């Protein structure tokens, strides 16, 4: 175990769309009336063009808003729902957020504690003072229609930076144990979970495997359980967290809200998402105990520091929970998850082959890197051999200029019901960036909010197209309405 480095920053992403559980119950409880017991609250859902990669990118952007990205020397991506079985998600995330080519990338998967295991791996690295690690965890799990998990799951992502700089939460210690205990399983990336009996999972799993690891860690560190301020343990089963806390001697008041009522359980991301929520409320000196469960147990003990009080603001969990749009269509949700195939007409019959070689040659565009003329200062996208300013037209004057974190306004907009969109209508328009660059872009769907000329936008990393013939999907940036967080 080691007491250094620590957590230096955090971020989160929860999709704006929130499906009311009452809509799921109304559509499915005819087959299982017991589902009505889970009918309160809402769960977060990905739009058709979101997945574990796009959510990881957005969480990373939230985390790195005030960070020099050249300091990131390693990126670890944790997920059990990565879009590719043989394509590294962490490399894709690194490219999208513009990390340098020499960053070390690693994917962690195949367990619900992949997020906590990734965090332990980063904390153990003992990185030198010249660089930090970025840990991102995200899950977009598909569920069997009419199952309890369909109601209790949610989509989301969390990100943490780990380094030897001023830590907002220093590591006191960690402990990990491996057990091939099967509470549920999924064979393929496109499959759905198979459950085991709830009482078995609770009594033989959580209540027998988790408390000994927590007790051993606290004993080794000489920390009294009653001094824990925040206890984090993701679980979709009622009162499990409280029962574990009681066995260990942790006060029930320290047990953190599992967020299931407001966004659902987000898989590998959930322990880190709950940690971000705890850090948003923690005070210097608070001790935070994080547990991850899945084919074993991870336990991490952290202590908040004074640096937390001066951390620049970010949306985090609290902001994203307020940034929401209610969704009541169960059919739309099933279409987004490809459980039902909608009829899109002849517009969907074109070949959508991605030119992978061209995408690689123009890979700086994936990070939304344009050009800035060194002579006149004109910003343009994409970067080219000539300045687009008619009064300049300088040749080979373009310096790289990132636009992903820029903002802009809608200069023109079209809503097209004839173009193919999995969430019609297809919206696109001319986006005028604050630096002066203009670009025709797709505009993301946002519930019933209709984009209008003059509205503020920020860029969102999304799936651009899906090629079902070759099982490939491409990614790019779209304009999203920059609306203030609010309860709706």
Question: What's the pLDDT score for residue 486?
Answer: 58
Q: Where are the alpha helices (DSSP H) in 142-254?
A: 148-152, 198-200, 207-221, 240-248
- pLDDT, one tens digit per residue, over 319-337 is 999 999 999 999 999 999 8
Spatial separation of the C-alpha atoms in residues 199 and 196, rounded to whole Å: 9
**Averaged over 393-420, what is the pLDDT?**
93
| Six token digits for residue 167 | 């830590």
Q: Assign residue 436 a region: left if phi > 0, alpha if psi is -120 to 50, beta otherwise? A: left
**Averaged over 404-423, what is the pLDDT?**
91
What HEC string does 278-304 produce?
HHHHCCCCCEEEEEEECCEEEEEEEEE
Beta bridge partners of 472: 467
Residue where the block lists tokens 């970025």? 134
Contacts of 404 (CB under 8 A, 6+ apart): 61, 97, 98, 367, 368, 459, 461, 477
* Stated length of the chain: 488
Q: Is the pLDDT of residue 88 over 50?
A: yes
pTM, 2 dp: 0.94
- pLDDT, one tens digit per residue, over 219-251 is 999 999 999 999 999 999 989 999 999 999 999
**Averaged over 112-128, what is the pLDDT?**
87
Contacts of 106 (CB under 8 A, 6+ apart): 74, 75, 76, 77, 90, 118, 121
Q: Is the pLDDT of residue 74 over 80?
A: yes
Contacts of 30 (CB under 8 A, 6+ apart): none
Question: What's the pLDDT score for residue 2?
Answer: 40
Q: What's the CATH code, domain 6-183+263-280+308-336?
A: 3.40.47.10
- pLDDT, one tens digit per residue, over 137-174 is 999 999 999 999 999 999 999 999 999 878 999 999 99
Q: Residue 351: pLDDT band by 50, 70, 90 thresholds? A: low
**Averaged over 364-369, what is the pLDDT?**
91
Q: Is the pLDDT of residue 447 over 80?
A: no
- pLDDT, one tens digit per residue, over 189-222 is 668 888 889 999 999 999 999 999 999 999 999 9
Q: Is the pLDDT of residue 299 over 70?
A: yes
- Mean pLDDT (the chain) is 92
Give the rounded percent of residues in the chain with a pLDDT score beyond 90.
Answer: 77
Question: What's the pLDDT score for residue 420?
Answer: 82
Question: What's the pLDDT score for residue 3?
Answer: 43
Domain ranges of the chain: 6-183+263-280+308-336, 352-368+403-481
- pLDDT, one tens digit per residue, over 179-188 is 999 999 988 7
**Averaged over 259-280, what is the pLDDT?**
97
Give the Å distances, CA to CA, from 231 to 226, 245, 452, 454: 11, 8, 45, 45
Task: Look at residue 250 and give its three-state secondary structure.
Answer: coil
Q: Residue 472: pLDDT band by 50, 70, 90 thresholds? A: confident
Question: What's the pLDDT score for residue 484?
Answer: 67
- pLDDT, one tens digit per residue, over 388-403 is 999 999 999 999 999 9
Lowest mean pLDDT across 7-11, 127-131, 233-237, 382-386: 127-131
Question: What's the pLDDT score for residue 485?
Answer: 63
């Amino acid at each position: 175990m080691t007491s250094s480095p620590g957590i230096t920053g955090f971020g989160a992403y929860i999709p704006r769309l929130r499906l009311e559980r009452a809509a799921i119950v109304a559509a499915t409880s005819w087959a299982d009336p017991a589902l009505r017991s889970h009918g309160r609250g809402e769960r977060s859902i990905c739009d058709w063009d979101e997945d574990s990669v796009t959510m990881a990118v957005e969480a990373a952007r939230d985390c790195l808003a005030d960070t020099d990205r050249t300091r990131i020397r390693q990126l670890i991506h944790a997920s059990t729902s990565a879009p590719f079985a043989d394509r590294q998600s962490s490399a894709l995330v690194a490219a999208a957020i513009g990390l340098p080519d020499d960053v070390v990338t690693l994917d962690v998967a195949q367990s619900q504690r992949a997020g906590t295991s990734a965090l332990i791996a980063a904390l153990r690295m003992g990185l030198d003072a010249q660089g930090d690690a970025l840990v991102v965890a995200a899950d977009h799990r598909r569920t069997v229609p009419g199952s309890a998990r369909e109601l209790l799951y949610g989509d989301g992502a969390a990100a943490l930076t780990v380094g030897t700089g001023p830590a907002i939460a220093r590591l006191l210690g960690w402990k990990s144990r491996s057990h091939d205990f099967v509470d549920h399983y999924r064979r393929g990336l496109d499959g759905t979970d198979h459950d085991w009996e709830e009482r078995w999972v609770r009594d033989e799993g959580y209540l027998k495997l988790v408390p000994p690891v927590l007790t051993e860690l606290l004993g080794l560190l000489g920390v009294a359980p009653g001094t824990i301020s925040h206890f984090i343990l993701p679980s979709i089963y009622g009162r499990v967290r409280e029962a574990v806390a009681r066995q260990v001697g942790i006060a029930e008041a320290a047990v953190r809200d599992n967020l299931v009522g407001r966004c659902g359980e987000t898989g590998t991301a959930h322990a880190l998402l709950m940690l971000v929520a705890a850090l948003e409320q923690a005070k210097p000196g608070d001790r935070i105990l994080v547990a991850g469960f899945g084919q074993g147990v991870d336990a991490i003990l952290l202590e908040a520091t004074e640096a937390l009080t001066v951390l620049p603001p970010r949306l985090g969990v609290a902001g994203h929970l307020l940034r929401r749009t209610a969704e009541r269509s169960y059919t739309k949700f099933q279409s987004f998850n490809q459980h039902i195939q909608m009829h899109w007409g002849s517009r969907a019959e074109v070949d959508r082959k991605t030119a992978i070689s061209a995408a690689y040659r123009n890979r700086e565009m994936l990070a939304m890197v344009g050009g800035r003329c060194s002579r006149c200062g004109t910003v343009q996208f994409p970067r080219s051999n000539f300045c687009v300013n008619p009064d300049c037209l300088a040749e080979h004057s373009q310096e790289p200029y990132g636009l992903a974190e820029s903002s802009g306004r809608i200069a023109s907009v079209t809503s097209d019901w004839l173009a193919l969109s999995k969430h019609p209508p297809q919206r696109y328009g001319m986006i005028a960036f604050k630096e002066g660059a203009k670009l025709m872009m797709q505009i993301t769907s946002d519930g019933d909010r209709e984009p209008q000329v003059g509205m503020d936008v920020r860029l969102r990393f999304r799936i651009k197209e899906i090629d079902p013939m070759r099982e490939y999907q491409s990614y790019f940036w779209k304009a999203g309405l920059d609306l203030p967080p609010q309860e709706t």
